[in-house]
Each structure stands twice: as C-alpha cells, then as structure tokens.
Amino acid sequence: MDIIELTRELGKALQNDDRYIAYSLAKQVNDNDEELQRLITEFDQLRQDLNEAVFKEDKDTDRIKDLDQNVKSHYKQIMENKNMIVFTAAQQSLEALVTNMNQIISMCANGEDPATCEPSSGCTGSCATCGGCG
C-alpha cells in the first residue's frame, strides 16, 4: 500500500470517528433548521448591505449604525440557537482532532518518531511543527 492509499484509509478512519459523526449530524440538523437558515440568509444580506453602505462615497451614518446593530443582533441570535451551539461544539471537537492529526504528520515529516511524537495542545510559538491555528 502506498502513502496515498494509507492516507485514504486514514480519511475513512476519520469519518468513522465519533467526533466526525457528531459534527456531520449537527451540520445536517443545522441545514434542516428553517429558522436558523432564515437568520443566516438575513445575516449575510445585512453584512453585504453594511459593506456597501460603508464604502459608499455619500455615507449615511445613521443607516450604517442601524445595519451594524442588525448584523450584531442577527449574529447573536444565530450563535444562541440551540442547534448552532451543538454544531459549534462538534465543529471545535473535530477541528481539534484534525489539528492533532496534522501536527503528528508534520512532526513525522520533520523526522520525529511516529510512535512517540505527541501533538501540543497549545501554541508553542513555533510554526515549524504546527498543524495550524484553531
């Protein structure tokens, strides 16, 4: 088996991990939450409107202030949605797993022993062995 085939096997193992399954299920619940999807759509439109208002030559500061408040209000509602709370936790758990996997692969590429190298749980300040900021 070559390294690409082994990587594909690792991908299959990742998709069978409880953290991936929890993330996938939470994402599906979010996708089916009509109220949440409505809020996200409105939030995206408000952000776009705010961006356009900010870069207009003849700025309407009252409109910008109103749009900014609406963006913040929608964001708060989105992040307080029970399904989004579950999704965010599942996403963070999956990202931590993938970060650990990336760190191990990076350490091995730098010559460390695959059997004993341990991913760090925090930033060491060195990007050389980092799997990326999470």
Each domain of the chain, given as residue ranges in start order, spans 3-110
What is the full DSSP assignment across 93-116? HHHHHHHHHHHHHHHHHTT--TTT
Q: Which residues of the chain have pLDDT under 50?
A: 134
What is the per-residue pLDDT for 1?
Answer: 83
Question: What are 101's two structure tokens?
Answer: 């996997």
The model's pLDDT over 45-81, given as tens digits with 9 standing for 90+, comes to 999 999 999 999 898 999 999 999 999 999 999 999 9
Q: Which CATH superfamily is domain 3-110 in?
A: YheA/YmcA-like (1.20.1500.10)
Which distant-in-sequence residues (6+ apart) come within 8 Å of 108 by Cβ? 114, 117
Exposure of 23 in the CB half-sphere (CA atoms within 13 A): 17
Neighbours of 39 (CB within 10 A): 19
Q: 117: alpha, beta or left, given left = phi > 0 and alpha = psi -120 to 50?
A: beta
